[in-house]
Structure 1
Amino acid sequence: MNKPVPLESIPVKNTIAGHYGRFVHGSRSTLAFWEITAGSESPVHQHPHEQITYVAEGVFEMVVNGHKYTLRQHDTLVIPPDTPHGGRALEDCKLIDSFCPAREDYKF
């Protein structure tokens, strides 16, 4: 049986420099809560997961398939599976990413 879990009780994982995430995994999806330090970059990469990004705080510059977007608080962006993307925090940011299917590589 599933029980509510306070976000603060989920361990923080430093996946790449300046990217600190807490991950909630279901059987078919992953929800990632990120705190990203201003100036930190996520190199261009791609994965088989559909990704939906929501900016809770800050400004994040995202490049998706060669197109640059400046995402501000309360902006969302859908990134289709296998699409090259990366980004850079222009300010300290809090992002929420939804991934489907679940990110097995974040279950560490």
Structure 2
Amino acid sequence: MFTKNNSKEFKPLIKGVLMRPLVFEEKTILCEFKLQKGNILPSHQHPYEQTGYLVSGKLKFRIGEIWHDAETGDSWCIPDNVEHEVEIVEDSIVIELFAPIRPDYLP
């Protein structure tokens, strides 16, 4: 699959978090997130491995028991079923890959 920029719309997931799927196939989905300063992605876990890259902004990110100060250019990989949460310190853009594919993120 090939996707042109801006061919898919952002949709709200929770307060302060917008997501759009960029491209997907049978095993993975790549998504872009816009995160608004001052909001929180509450503690959660899911059956998807999650690999991400912080394009811009700042986040305070907990993976398991460890907190990380994420800045532009930082990246992460969260194994499936590991608890994590995010405090949005600055407006941020994140690109994340999920495997296996998340049906709830499909267009």
Q: Report the TM-score range of the alignment, normalised by the length of the smaller protein.
A: over 0.9
Matches within 5 A, 1:27-38: 27-38=26-37
Task: In structure 1, list runs of 5 or more residues that go unmatched.
Answer: none
Match for residue 88 of structure 1? 87
Aligned counterparts of 1:21 and 1:59: Cα–Cα separation in 2: 17
Q: What are the ranges of 5 or more consecutive residues in structure 2 without an aligned counterpart?
A: none
What amino acid does structure 2 have at the position aligned with 1:20?
A: L
- Identify the residue that residue 5 of structure 2 maps to in structure 1: 7
TM-score normalised over the length of structure 1: 0.92
**Aligned-CA RMSD value:** 1.1
Q: In the alignment, does 2:53 pair up with 1:54?
A: yes
Q: Distance in 2 between matches of 1:28 and 1:61?
A: 29
* TM-score (norm: length of structure 2): 0.93
Identity %: 27
Matches within 5 A, 1:62-73: 62-73=61-72
> Which residue matches 1:16?
14
1-structure distance, mates of 2:5, 2:87: 24
**Could you tell me how far 1:27 is from its partner in structure 2?**
1.1
The structural deviation recorded for 1:106 is 1.4
Shift, 1:102, TM fit: 0.3
> In the alignment, what sits opposite 2:73?
74
The list of structure 1 runs, each at least 4 consecutive aligned residues, that deviate by more than 6 angstroms after superposition, is none
Distance in 2, Cα, partners of 1:11 & 1:82: 28
